């Protein structure tokens, strides 16, 4: 890393509890804030994954969980989805 980049990096000063509270407070409106601009990329990813009946899927970084619902529908009762 260059000295210039090192000066721009700052330490996170909030606790895990404060971070959790912040994300919890915005989670109810996040999908509305992100709008369709983010959802179109989720749909592309879901299409490329092409999850099928009976599959077991682990999704990392699932945000508010909107895509988990779609994955659950795709894998059906014989599959599983974890986030």
Q: What mean pLDDT do residues 72-82 have?
A: 97
Question: In the block, which residue shows the tokens 């919890």?
Answer: 24
Q: Is the pLDDT of residue 2 over 70?
A: no
Whole-prediction pTM: 0.64
Pairwise CA distance, residues 50 & 43, whole Å? 10
Q: What mean pLDDT do residues 22-31 have?
A: 82
Q: What is the structure's pLDDT at 39? A: 83
Q: What is the structure's pLDDT at 18? A: 94
Q: What is the structure's pLDDT at 1? A: 54
Q: What is the structure's pLDDT at 24? A: 85
**Beta-carbon neighbour count of residue 51 at 10 Å?**
19
């Amino acid at each position: 890393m260059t000295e210039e980049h090192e000066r721009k990096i700052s330490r996170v000063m909030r606790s895990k509890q404060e971070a959790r509270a912040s994300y919890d407070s915005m989670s109810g409106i996040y999908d509305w804030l992100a709008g369709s601009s983010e959802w179109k990329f989720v749909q592309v990813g879901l299409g490329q994954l092409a999850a099928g009946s009976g599959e077991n899927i682990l999704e990392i970084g699932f945000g508010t969980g909107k895509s988990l619902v779609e994955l659950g529908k795709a894998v059906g009762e014989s599959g599983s989805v974890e986030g």
